[in-house]
Structure 1
């Protein structure tokens, strides 16, 4: 049965509107009836008790703000009457040892069909990478993409060229601006796609970026670490790397980073320096020949059964709304707990969106050193934001605020639920690699693409991406599963949404049921079923330059 409101935690003093509530609407929760004194849009919050100026506002059982002014019972919470606030935290607090792992009996014998690598890792996909070590090589990367993608059968993007031709025809026929604006153009077609020459290779990915030189030397080191994470990734069969030669991001630096992550690296890797080779034609011809040979080798690997413990799932949210923290995120949190109980790895990132829930994560850390590293990274990140006149409180976007997330702590408390309730086994600083099964925290920005790029660079073979507003974000080498927090979004943007957890809001499904449905889908995706972002050729890749990015 669908309710009008929800109270997330027993200690909360606000309710969440599950539907639009006109002024004067009586709503009941746990025997208490409150009448709205304002119009309360769906996803927004109303006061369950009188709030005097300075009074705390609690959601998810934590402090998410304080009242700027008096708010009556049933009053709407807004950015005008509530301000961001969080509790302090102590990294030396008592460790929690009470985690109850979920029953995973039904999942223990399940497998996915993955690509087994010589080092024991198992990929959910099989890609070849073409990477520039510096932005000076981006044009040559583009030339290689034009030469390879179409003829090898990897073109995926829908073409809108027929619509342009239709508009040209209308112009030539003498149509006016008004008539052209009113024209309903024919649907874009994917066009004829050639069959893949290498059926066991999912694609060739070209990771253009704007780094590798300029900035500071640490930027180059970090970039090489990220690129090494992609080259050694289980979803990657091998790589072609283009270097100019004189840039900060030297080939030796990349090779050192590869060795850190994979001391016995055995994948085919071709590295070409333009300043040594000479002409563009010589460089491109050599790269084409070597890449083609690499694809031939990559095509020899086929999918084989693998236990679910070989999965590493990245947890991400973007375009969040007031329902994200009560449907999609906790459902993904249940997936996280299931996978941890099965021996798999999970990555929770976006440190600006963990603001306010630090104590919970500290308490869940397996030891003091882990808790201290998390605390140190969080405080350093927060201080760097303040130093440039910003702060974590400025994280929520206009879209977040419009749809009910009016403070960063409120957003963070919901975002953190993606991590479930299992112990924190490790804290990683970007772009470090996941090496332990269990829940790993990774220091990244809250920015969707920067964070997703980082999670995959740290080892995520599938990313679960929750959204309440809709975003097309994908990744070059890991499938990004887009999960809607509400049914309206799933219906409005079915071309980018893979799963809908609005069923929880609609009263049709429990969090646990939604989580199990997601895990079932993950197994299919890990076995080769395409997600929307892959079908659309959405391959977003933005390295974080370790500046302040919220």
Structure 2
């Protein structure tokens, strides 16, 4: 995507080939914009105004890419949205491979203050955790976590807290197969996360997802930093809470002895998310985050793009910079899986834009995807991972996840993300323990309205004329400060446990 120099105009044409422009503010009927376009009706901020007459069935371009086709006749100056724009015919595309994808020159080597773990990975936080095998142990896990936190008090300043990793699965499912593999991989990812210094694995005892099977399948060994027990084995709720508190407090001294030290940016693994997107997402926060990603990758860091249904229609922008043919094949294979999965359940890929997305100006999944992919910057795509698979490749990578933010971020964190960057236009409130989550606002009006929840106003690209590269630098600076211990807004508000949502695949029996 090529963005023009941004101006204080009422509407913005993003590419010379576009058939629509984005309204920087609400337009009044009869108002002239872009020198010669007269609005035929009131058009909300963030929505699209037609730049030419279009007959029914005409492809419509934004960002220089097709975002759908007209479903009714459109006149120059009309409001273009769900009443006259639909998906049209969609064919997955593989972009011509770019042998020399754009890269950003590495800046002066920078560091952050992080926790170096024994396996060489680097944490941005230092938590204790209770990881549950099944929903039936969730309440006990939360009770243990809260009681241990209260006992730690101010006497353990290097421990950020105790996170209860709970979920709604673990039983009434097949004992083997994809669904169980994904659940176990996710839970193991949290248990071994670089932001976790000690973990208690907690089960009920009679669930399908037996703790013994989970630990054996994922290579989790009991020791000084990992303990496992069941409620039934301990003799009930009260006995389990007492034993769990004792075991975690035994880990607390060692966890508190760990201190932050200067670490290279190659130790940052950043999950990229967008939620509550609007018509500004692909114009401000997402491309600015993409520039920050390029800066991070240039220093050896890792960025994880995800939400497979939300790259639908924009996949060619990723495959053309794939590191090799196997990366392209794996990415296209996952998109094909989603097409078949949605068709089998009687749905449509275009069901993805939410009510909030549409109220904010997004009409089709193609339009949403083109804006979402901007988060990935311009770096080569080095690898494609399954949900919650350990991410080991540096640079820009892709993880197959649903578009639902909590499920997607859960997979990224299980894969090793130690920081989340989350762009939002409508105002998503989201946390992601044990990884800090940064909320990047796409527009200044929402940022001011929800300043308590937002970490950065990327809307200043439009409201104050800040350039995308400058905003990208601000995002990278914010990443470094947060990774070094500065609390994110969601951390200060206590978000982060309820948003842990492993992907539930398959039948619930």
- TM-score when normalising by structure 2: 0.94
CA contact (8 A) 1:329 1:418 kept: yes
Question: Does residue 1:74 correspond to 2:77, yes or no?
Answer: yes
Counterparts of residues 246-325 of structure 1 (less than 5 Å): 246-259=206-219, 268-325=225-282
Alpha-carbon shift at residue 281 of structure 1 (Å): 3.6
- In the alignment, which residue of structure 2 is the partner of 1:198? 156
Aligned length: 497
- The Cα offsets for residues 462-516 of structure 1, whole Å up to 9 and x where unpaired, read as 1110001111110110010001000011110111001001101114201111010
Alpha-carbon shift at residue 20 of structure 1 (Å): 1.0
CA contact (8 A) 1:220 1:248 kept: no
CA contact (8 A) 1:62 1:356 kept: no
CA distance in 1, matches of 2:370, 2:22: 14
CA contact (8 A) 1:86 1:356 kept: no
Candidates 217, 236, 240, aligned match of 2:200:
240
Alpha-carbon shift at residue 459 of structure 1 (Å): 1.1
Q: What secondary structure, in the 3-state scheme, does the structure 1 residue paired with 2:320 have?
A: helix
CA distance in 1, matches of 2:19, 2:505: 38
Alpha-carbon shift at residue 221 of structure 1 (Å): 2.4
- In the alignment, which residue of structure 2 is the partner of 1:167? none
CA distance in 2, matches of 1:89, 1:146: 48
Question: Does residue 1:19 correspond to 2:21, yes or no?
Answer: no
CA pair 398-281 structure 1, distance change in 2 beyond 3 A: closer
Question: Does residue 1:379 correspond to 2:336, yes or no?
Answer: yes
Question: Does residue 1:101 correspond to 2:140, yes or no?
Answer: no
CA distance in 2, matches of 1:133, 1:442: 23
- In the alignment, which residue of structure 1 is the partner of 2:190? 230
Question: Over the residues paired in the alignment, what is the CA RMSD in angstroms?
Answer: 1.8
Question: Does residue 1:457 correspond to 2:460, yes or no?
Answer: no
Moved more, 96-105 or 488-497: 96-105
Counterparts of residues 437-476 of structure 1 (less than 5 Å): 437-476=394-433
Question: Which segments of 5 or more consecutive residues in structure 2 lack a partner in the other structure?
Answer: 1-6
Counterparts of residues 399-548 of structure 1 (less than 5 Å): 399-539=356-496, 540-546=499-505
CA distance in 1, matches of 2:142, 2:436: 23
Q: What secondary structure, in the 3-state scheme, does the structure 2 residue paired with 1:149 have?
A: helix
CA contact (8 A) 1:221 1:253 kept: no
CA distance in 2, matches of 1:204, 1:361: 38
Alpha-carbon shift at residue 213 of structure 1 (Å): 0.8
CA distance in 1, matches of 2:110, 2:124: 15
Q: What secondary structure, in the 3-state scheme, does the structure 1 residue paired with 2:80 have?
A: coil
Candidates 46, 58, 61, aligned match of 1:58:
61
Alpha-carbon shift at residue 289 of structure 1 (Å): 1.0
- In the alignment, which residue of structure 2 is the partner of 1:163? none
CA distance in 2, matches of 1:374, 1:256: 30
CA contact (8 A) 2:146 2:162 kept: no
Alpha-carbon shift at residue 334 of structure 1 (Å): 0.5
Question: Does residue 1:7 correspond to 2:13, yes or no?
Answer: yes
Question: Does residue 1:394 correspond to 2:351, yes or no?
Answer: yes
Q: What secondary structure, in the 3-state scheme, does the structure 1 residue paired with 2:470 have?
A: helix
CA distance in 2, matches of 1:541, 1:366: 32
Q: What secondary structure, in the 3-state scheme, does the structure 2 residue paired with 1:509 have?
A: coil
CA contact (8 A) 1:126 1:200 kept: yes
- The Cα offsets for residues 522-549 of structure 1, whole Å up to 9 and x where unpaired, read as 100000000110011101211110369x
CA contact (8 A) 1:64 1:86 kept: no
CA distance in 2, matches of 1:487, 1:11: 28
CA distance in 2, matches of 1:137, 1:353: 34
- TM-score when normalising by structure 1: 0.87
Question: Which segments of 5 or more consecutive residues in structure 1 lack a partner in the other structure?
Answer: 154-195
CA distance in 2, matches of 1:265, 1:292: 16
CA contact (8 A) 2:290 2:378 kept: yes
CA pair 547-378 structure 1, distance change in 2 beyond 3 A: farther
